[in-house]
Amino acid sequence: MSFIGRRGIIGPAYLSLGTQNSYGYSRSLSTLPDSEPSGTIGKLVAIVAERLGVGEMATNGLQLAVIGGALAGARYFGGFLVDFLKKRVVVTASFDSRDESYSWVLNWLNEHPYSQRTTQFSVSTSITSSGSSSLGEDRDKRFPPVYFLPAPGIHLLMYNNRLLWLNRELSQNSAAAVTKSSLERIHISTFGRSRDVLQQLVLDAQQKFIDRDLSRTVVFAADGYGNWRRTRSRPKRPLSTIVIPPCLKTQLVSDAKEFLVSEKWYSDRGIPYRRGYLLYGTPGSGKTSFVYSLAGELGLNIYVVSLSNKGLTDDTLGELVSDVDAAFVHRNRADGSGTNSVTFSGLLNAIDGVAAQEGRILCMTTNHKEKLDPALIRPGRIDVRVHFENATQEQARELFTKFYPGLTETESRELSETFAARIPNLKFSMAHLQGFLMGHKGLPIRAVDEVDSWVESHKDGPPKDTSSENEPLDA
């Protein structure tokens, strides 16, 4: 009873009212000193109630309601005032794990001396929200990268002689917590009203991240919510490792390079500034590998949309594609149908509708060009078509040479020619031949000796297992 009048505890006291009689409360309120605002309010209400001829019980209820309301209002406006003052003296930048900038900040934090000395740290093998290592697949997989990061909670650290406090929050949502993509947020604050120091921090973090990726090709995949997620990065694959007719390679690369510097040419003629390539043909013939190499050569990232992504709709697809500023790789479903709700017209819109991104290169890869709707690959959407076939003998020879670089020139020429002569033209994919050579790593002579029996054992058709080393782009 005695605590009812105390400021700040009216709420809980009110909850226990059922166990008290109304008279007791009335007494308590009326015996509060005048200096107590609730007492003053109580008295005022009692006076008004008396004038209005309201009964005692109703007066008590009215008093409590008015006092409760007054304190709730004070609390609300108090919070509002604190927020207002905070905005005047503190500047804060927030990062959300659904955005790529989150990875920049984690990477920056990982390199910050504070992360090496804090006693509260979390260990992670990934600094991307998708959970994949951003350092790519060339690292020794027995020893994945390790990142030491400040643990969830509040941390104080210095940046450019300024004190920052960082709050790392994990999602409380249990559903999100079990997925790899659980939501996390980082808020970085400092005193002052100028955003300069935090903006500089973001730019520094971004630069560090980009520098690390300079020699790598980064792949982003679409999630079902219209966001791009960085899925992996891998060392740039040199074009020289792609064994296709040299004139084809040169033609495609110079076409893409010319496109990237021709924005004005396109705008002068009112032509949408986009370029589309269709790479079609047998599985394992190098279509995906070529896209990787081309992106590496041009210094572009790869953005992949899998149309079998269940969450994808026309809207999210449109949003994603209007957001792409580099290469966009799309393993298509010929008719645009899938388990999601992307329609064929939605797909066409995403490719070259009004909102479609300018300055991008679209690469479609398919094993079945004949199943594609002609509208999807009409000129303007697809400008260059390239057919990838099973390996010619010339390709087999070149693949062998590249696979065993340690041979002398004469050995290399003789062995590669013998090897190629034993491979039937256009029967095996490059992936099959690569698979055979992988089984003879460092054993070029044995590879040549055993290739005949390998070919013979597959005379009724190429090996069924076409597993390639390349991760599919639409993973």
Ligand X SMILES: Nc1ncnc2c1ncn2[C@@H]1O[C@H](COP(=O)(O)OP(=O)(O)OP(=O)(O)O)[C@@H](O)[C@H]1O
Binding positions for ligand X, rule: CB under 6 A: 241-244, 283-289, 365, 367, 388, 430-431, 434, 468-470, 472
Minimum Å distance from CB 243 to ligand X? 4
What does the longest C-alpha to C-alpha distance in the chain come to?
Answer: 116
Q: Which is nearer to ligand X, 9 or 438 (CB)?
A: 438
Q: Which is nearer to ligand X, 128 or 429 (CB)?
A: 429
Structure tokens at 444: 């070029």
Query: Is the Cβ–Cβ distance between 150 and 117 less than 8 Å?
Result: no
Beta-carbon contacts of residue 198 (< 8 Å; ≥ 6 apart) = 91, 92, 93, 188, 190
Minimum Å distance from CB 341 to ligand X? 25
Q: What is the DSSP letter of 422?
A: T
Smallest CA-to-CA distance from 56 within 65, 64, 46 is with: 46
Which amino acid is located at 404 in the chain? Y
Minimum Å distance from CB 229 to ligand X? 21
Q: Which is nearer to ligand X, 25 or 436 (CB)?
A: 436
Which amino acid is located at 426 in the chain? L
Structure tokens at 158: 């210095």
Q: Which is nearer to ligand X, 92 or 468 (CB)?
A: 468
Minimum Å distance from CB 434 to ligand X? 5
Minimum Å distance from CB 195 to ligand X? 45
Angle, CA 75 vertex, CA 72 and CA 77 arms, to 5°: 110
Q: From residue 370, give the alpha-carbon distance in Å to each of 158, 239, 362.
A: 61, 28, 19
Sheet hosting strand 384-388, strand order edge to edge: 228-235, 216-222, 302-306, 327-331, 361-366, 275-281, 384-388
**Whole-angstrom Cα distance, residue 152 to residue 120?**
8
Minimum Å distance from CB 295 to ligand X? 13
Q: Which is nearer to ligand X, 216 or 234 (CB)?
A: 234
Closest-CB residue for ligand X? 286
Q: Which is nearer to ligand X, 248 or 455 (CB)?
A: 248
Minimum Å distance from CB 365 to ligand X? 6
Q: What angle, 0 to 180 degrees and rounded to 10, lies between the N-to-C axes of helices 56-89 and 22-30?
A: 60
Angle, CA 153 vertex, CA 150 and CA 158 arms, to 5°: 55
Q: Which is nearer to ligand X, 59 or 365 (CB)?
A: 365
Q: Which is nearer to ligand X, 48 or 384 (CB)?
A: 384
**Whole-angstrom Cα distance, residue 107 to residue 128?**
9
Minimum Å distance from CB 303 to ligand X? 17
Q: Which is nearer to ligand X, 100 or 297 (CB)?
A: 297
Query: Is the Cβ–Cβ distance between 301 and 220 less than 8 Å?
Result: yes
**Whole-angstrom Cα distance, residue 171 to residue 97?**
10
Query: Is the Cβ–Cβ distance between 104 and 206 less than 8 Å?
Result: yes
Minimum Å distance from CB 331 to ligand X? 8
**Whole-angstrom Cα distance, residue 297 to residue 322?**
23
Minimum Å distance from CB 290 to ligand X? 7
Q: Which is nearer to ligand X, 188 or 242 (CB)?
A: 242
Q: Which is nearer to ligand X, 64 or 256 (CB)?
A: 256
Q: From residue 170, give the alpha-carbon distance in Å to each of 54, 174, 185.
A: 53, 10, 7
Q: Is 23 left (phi over 0), alpha (psi -120 to 50) or beta?
A: alpha
Minimum Å distance from CB 469 to ligand X? 4
